[in-house]
Amino acid sequence: MASSTDEPDSIIAALEEGRRRFLALVGDIRPELHRYCTRMTGSVADGEDVVQDTLARAYYQLPELKELPPLRPWLFRIAHNRAIDHIRHESHRASEPIELALDLADREDHEPDQALARNQAVHAALSCFMQLAPAQRGCVILKDVLDHSLEEIAEELQLSVQAVKAALHRGRQVLSELSPAEAKTHPAARPISPELQRYATLFNAHDWDSLRAMLADDVRLDLVSRRKAAGRREVSLYFGNYASVSDWHLVPAHLDGHEVLAVMRESGAARPGYFVELQWRDGQVVAIRDYRYVKYIAEDAALVLAR
């Protein structure tokens, strides 16, 4: 006869299997979602937070649906709304409403060359997108960075095609007016804190015991998209996992104005494969956020290496 603990265990296993299957189903869309959310929020890390939130909300909405909707427009609609909530929360909300641009919607003579507009959007710094109103930002990213059609954007953002055209025109105009220096500015390298430098040195030397000694008792680990752990004992296992592989070398760096550890996946790599964020309290590590299993995370990351 099954024990009283079998049923909860089977429920947890079923939920985990359902989550795994859902993530596999949306795997091909996820990098595109991240490119969108990164530019909507102006931050690679915040963009991934919005992606995680989007997928969690989509997964928990599934039981309420009579049938699975077309995945891409459904996920982008959720992602856009979650990004807007993030912008509001962070007090980045722009002021120009979409309605103010409607009178320009169908005036083709006002549209810039689309190839030029696409080039400007693809190469614009993340911070440039923050100067656009949210609807404009969404339309420019979806059209000029991700190459969605006007009809797809209208469905994804729940706007009319006319409103999409208007927002696209205004957004492109703002990007085109940014100075080349502003659009291509990269932050200068800054000194790295002694704590982060020591952590990187110990990690590269495989000095796991010294690293464990740097952990606070209440340390938290987020191995993004894979697992979470809390407490020194559980988080200490994280170092053992790195000891078993060799495809990494840590380099202190800056990203979005704060310190991170860039991870070079192979010797002589031109750019990092991913990065790790640490939080400190009184010289001890209180949080580790490791993006090893988010393969796309460094594509849009303007990491400034300290080497």
pTM, two decimals, is 0.77
Predicted local distance difference test score (pLDDT) of residue 212: 97
Separation CA 195–CA 37 (nearest Å): 31
Q: What is the pLDDT of residue 37?
A: 96
Q: Quick one: which H or E segment has residue 21?
A: helix 6-25
- The pLDDT value recorded for residue 88 is 82
Q: What confidence score (pLDDT) does residue 26 get?
A: 92
Architecture label for domain 194-305: Roll (3.10)
98-184 CATH fold: Arc Repressor Mutant, subunit A (1.10.10)
Residue extent(s) of CATH 1.10.1740.10 domains in the chain: 6-89
Q: Are 137 and 39 in contact (CB under 8 A)?
A: yes
DSSP letters, 146-182, are: S---HHHHHHHHT--HHHHHHHHHHHHHHHHHS-HHH
What are the start and end residues of each CATH 1.10.10.10 domain in the chain?
Answer: 98-184
Longest dimension (CA), the chain: 76
Could you tell me how far CA 119 lies from the centroid of its own chain? Answer: 22
Position 187 scores a pLDDT of 53
Instruction: Look at residue 108 in the predicted model and tell me its pLDDT.
Output: 43
Report DSSP letters for 275-298, one per residue: EEEEEEETTEEEEEEE-TT-TTTT
Question: What's residue 120's pLDDT?
Answer: 60
Query: What is the enclosing helix (H) or strand (E) of 30?
Result: helix 30-41
Architecture of the domain spanning 6-89: Orthogonal Bundle (1.10)
- Write down the pLDDT at residue 11: 76
The edge-to-edge listing of strands for the beta sheet with 227-230 is 227-230, 215-223, 284-290, 274-281, 258-263, 250-255, 304-305
CATH 3.10.450.50 residue spans of the chain:
194-305
- Kindly give the confidence (pLDDT) of every residue in the chain, 307 residues in length, as a single tens digit, with 9 standing for 90 and above: 455 556 677 877 777 787 888 889 999 999 999 999 999 999 999 999 999 999 999 998 988 888 888 999 999 999 999 999 988 876 544 444 434 333 433 444 445 456 556 556 655 677 788 888 889 999 999 999 999 999 999 999 999 999 999 999 999 988 888 745 454 455 555 789 999 999 999 999 999 999 999 999 999 999 998 899 999 999 999 999 999 999 999 999 999 889 999 999 987 788 999 999 999 999 999 999 999 999 999 988 889 998 6
